[in-house]
Structure 1
Amino acid sequence: MDLKLFFNPTEVDVDQSPTSFQSSIYVNRDKMPDHEGMDIALIGLTEYRGGDNSSELASAEAVRKQLYALKKGYGDYGIIDLGNFRNGPKIEDTYLRLKEVCAYLMEKNIIPVLFGGSHDLDLGQYYAYETAEKLISVLNIDNAMDFDGEHIASNHIGKIFKHSPNYLFGYCHLGYQSYLTDQKSIELLDKLSFESIRLGVVKENIKDIEPIVRDADMLSFDLSALQALYAPGASNAKVYGLTGEEACQLCWYAGQNEKMSSVGIYNYDAAKDSKDNKTAFVMSTMIWYFIEGYYHRKGDKNFKSNDYLMYEVHLGGEPETIRFYKSKLSERWWMEVPNPDSEGLFNRNRMIACNQSDYDLALKGEIPDRWMNFFNKV
């Protein structure tokens, strides 16, 4: 694929030291760099026709300016900034172009990291999995549930649910605010055996959220999930929400997730941002922390190796036992849902990320909710 056909070069150039983030990556300026062998591809988005604001190129470039000035993190980077994505004549064309590019990158084992644009652009991100021949799990972080609304950015999740062919295995909505959410939307997720976790639960102990992030293949993050104090430039931020630190922590978890294959951070409006570009800075540090998490991955894949401790808990009912696995390297936990009829597409999802608290619960003879939720789906 000739990627330069899909992108406009960036004009951002921050004069920084050799230790800056900018000096450690390949950037599409005068010429598109070679993407072979890269780990992560940064993609600036300028499409806002699906939302209710009119931001354009300035938003993606504002984030880029803040990101480039940060210091390089851990390890040797294999990162390319492809530039700003060229929109289609119609918004539906932008989705399809985004689908094509993201699918191509993921086939090359390059993680696309999308930033800017309205939240409905995660449709293109999701469509990219159509030819992957696997079921995926989507993590959506937003202060509201976008199942219906006047703009497509307010009903894009509903379109994901209805999309055919259907390759959506799991969906979790993280950080919703109850006073912004129709109770029927929560009931719909329960009926579909999907998860919804309100803001208060996330903030109570964010470490308990890590297994949920670890189970996702795709992350769609609406900046409106943050407090307006931290993200005045988010399209629909409220007084209450995640802090900047909590958003970065979630992005760190996403980076460490071995399954995570695409990330989108949406709904930044540079025209609404503070004079010191506070939102652009928060968004750039979220991207930075995802990259840091990626380069700190522990290689948690082969559960039959000696790198894992296996615990079998006898419940004395149905199921009779549940197996738990703990990594000696990362000290993270998983639990297995045995189902002889779930080979093929379901097979890769049979190991569920969990906490030690789920293991402790099983020792008391109780079945963890996430185990039962998965069992019901398959």
Structure 2
Amino acid sequence: MNLSIFFEPLNEDVYSTLNKPRTLGAYISRFVSKSPDWRSADIAIFGVSESRGRKEDASATANMPARAVRQRLYSLNKGAGRCRIVDLGNLRPGITLEDTYLRLKEIVEVLISHNTIPIIIGGSHDLEYGQYLGYEHLERVVNMVTVDSSVDMTEDVSATPNKKQLRQILMHEPNYLFSLGQIGHQSYLVEPEVMATLEKLHFEAYRVGEVHSGVKEMEPVVRLADLLTFDISAIRHQDAPGYEPANPFGLTGEEACQLCWYAGLNDNLTSLGIYEYDPELDDRELTAMTIATMIWYFIEGYYHRKNELDFTSKQFTRYAVAFNSDQPDRMNFYKSRSSEKWWLEVEPLSSEKSSRIVPCSYEDYLQAIEGEVPNRWVLTQARIG
């Protein structure tokens, strides 16, 4: 498939000075006059200059959020190991916002079908709907994690699309969403009815304070994801001022990079979307540098993947924890010998359904040996049915 017809090529004059040896700019193959070979790439970066989901009267190409991010990213030094990355340019928006969703769906679908991970630099957060649609062809359930200061599930019909796309995802048919993890919300920005809905659906949600208390506990949440979306408003204004309305509270830039590092390490994760960056609000390009560093950590994480997916191999140690109660009577944990990460096997209530092995933390294991059933086991079993 010729993807170049969907993209605007880059202006080489803007990036030609960023090709210094040992920097990422010298290694990333980008679309200038000829589309790069994305089929042999591990990662494909592209921008989406679509802001109609944030302001209905905005032009589809009102700003170019990826331009400043690229300039910062290309100037960063390359990490250790190989680097097979392409930059596809900027996606041409559709005539309508819905057309842009469908274009994004097609691009994501093609890329992940060829084992190339798309990194999307948006654009309003409702574009995650198009990113999610790119998984429909897989004909299996998927797991999604979103990092946001709010939860975009409002029922207010007058709200802009970037405030209700999660509801759109939940209502989409066919329904192939198995789990949704929400990280970094601030309670005073979320309607109580929305949190009640997440609880009813047995989805995980973590306040920003919980991230501050232990960002390492977010690693199993991110490790479960097939796709991750990141709303820049989740980061405090002093670390990323390029969004509105301004918010003095939120994740630190370091915590955002840590989450992207976890995402890169995740063997199952096949797409990353970073949204809501408005370069017009980023006078000194601090937000662009924050996003570029987040992408750098994702790339580094990707090239440190362990391919830890075969739980029957000698790569894992199995721990069986017995319970006195009838349900469960036993719980199996798996620990990787190389990364020391933990997984938990969850048995279904119905014999017609198969068990699932999900990421967990060492704290979940300690809780189990004390005779307490981890909440992660309860939520997963409820979703299995």
Shift of 1:377: 1.1
Shift of 1:141: 0.5
1:284 — aligned with what? 292
The amino acid across from 1:59 in the alignment is P
Deviations 1:2-47 (A, max 9, x none): 1111001112313342101011111001111112221111011101
Q: Note if 1:122 corresponds to 2:128.
A: yes
Write the distance in 2 (CA, Å) between the matches of 1:106 and 1:16: 28
2:260 — aligned with what? 251
- Answer whether contact 1:225 1:237 (CA < 8 A) is retained: no
Write the distance in 2 (CA, Å) between the matches of 1:320 and 1:57: 57
Identity percentage over the alignment? 44
1:341 — aligned with what? 352
2:34 — aligned with what? 31
1:215 — aligned with what? 224
- Answer whether contact 1:10 1:61 (CA < 8 A) is retained: no
Write the distance in 1 (CA, Å) between the matches of 2:222 and 2:37: 31
- Answer whether contact 2:148 2:184 (CA < 8 A) is retained: yes
Shift of 1:360: 0.7
Write the distance in 2 (CA, Å) between the matches of 1:285 and 1:174: 19
Write the distance in 1 (CA, Å) between the matches of 2:80 and 2:153: 39
Deviations 1:125-173 (A, max 9, x none): 0001111111011101100111125200111111011111100000011
- Answer whether contact 1:223 1:237 (CA < 8 A) is retained: no
Q: Note if 1:90 corresponds to 2:100.
A: no
- Answer whether contact 1:231 1:237 (CA < 8 A) is retained: no
Helix, strand or coil for the counterpart of 1:264?
strand
Map 1:187-226 → 2, pairs under 5 A: 187-226=196-235
Q: Note if 1:63 corresponds to 2:69.
A: yes
Write the distance in 2 (CA, Å) between the matches of 1:136 and 1:110: 17
1:304 alignment partner, one of 309, 312, 315: 312
1:322 — aligned with what? 331
Write the distance in 1 (CA, Å) between the matches of 2:46 and 2:245: 22
The amino acid across from 2:7 in the alignment is F
TM-score (norm 2): 0.94
Shift of 1:221: 0.4
Deviations 1:53-102 (A, max 9, x none): 66734321111111111111121111110000000011100000110110
2:273 — aligned with what? 264
The amino acid across from 2:52 in the alignment is R
The amino acid across from 1:5 in the alignment is I
The amino acid across from 2:272 in the alignment is V
2:145 — aligned with what? 139
Helix, strand or coil for the counterpart of 2:140?
coil
1:43 — aligned with what? 46
Q: Note if 1:171 corresponds to 2:177.
A: no
Q: Note if 1:361 corresponds to 2:367.
A: yes
- Answer whether contact 1:226 1:237 (CA < 8 A) is retained: no
Helix, strand or coil for the counterpart of 2:118?
strand
Unaligned runs of 5+ in 1: none
- Answer whether contact 1:50 1:151 (CA < 8 A) is retained: yes
Write the distance in 1 (CA, Å) between the matches of 2:229 and 2:299: 16
1:19 — aligned with what? 22
Write the distance in 2 (CA, Å) between the matches of 1:98 and 1:258: 23
Corresponding pairs, count: 372
Helix, strand or coil for the counterpart of 2:137?
coil
2:2 — aligned with what? 2
Shift of 1:236: 3.5
The 10-residue stretch of structure 1 (143-152 or 358-367) with the greater mean CA deviation from structure 2: 143-152
- Answer whether contact 2:65 2:121 (CA < 8 A) is retained: no
Helix, strand or coil for the counterpart of 1:31?
coil
Helix, strand or coil for the counterpart of 1:36?
helix
Helix, strand or coil for the counterpart of 2:44?
strand
Shift of 1:338: 2.3
Write the distance in 2 (CA, Å) between the matches of 1:152 and 1:94: 13
Helix, strand or coil for the counterpart of 1:173?
strand
Unaligned runs of 5+ in 2: none
Deviations 1:201-241 (A, max 9, x none): 01101011100010011101000000000111023441000
Runs (4+) of structure 1 exceeding 4 A deviation are none
Shift of 1:316: 1.8
Write the distance in 2 (CA, Å) between the matches of 1:27 and 1:298: 28
Write the distance in 1 (CA, Å) between the matches of 2:224 and 2:366: 20
Shift of 1:319: 0.7
The amino acid across from 2:353 in the alignment is S
Deviations 1:323-343 (A, max 9, x none): 000000100000101234224
The amino acid across from 1:280 in the alignment is A
Write the distance in 2 (CA, Å) between the matches of 1:202 and 1:30: 44
Deviations 1:285-319 (A, max 9, x none): 11111111000111111111111110000012111
Q: Tell me the C-alpha RMSD between the 2 structures.
A: 1.2
- Answer whether contact 2:66 2:121 (CA < 8 A) is retained: yes
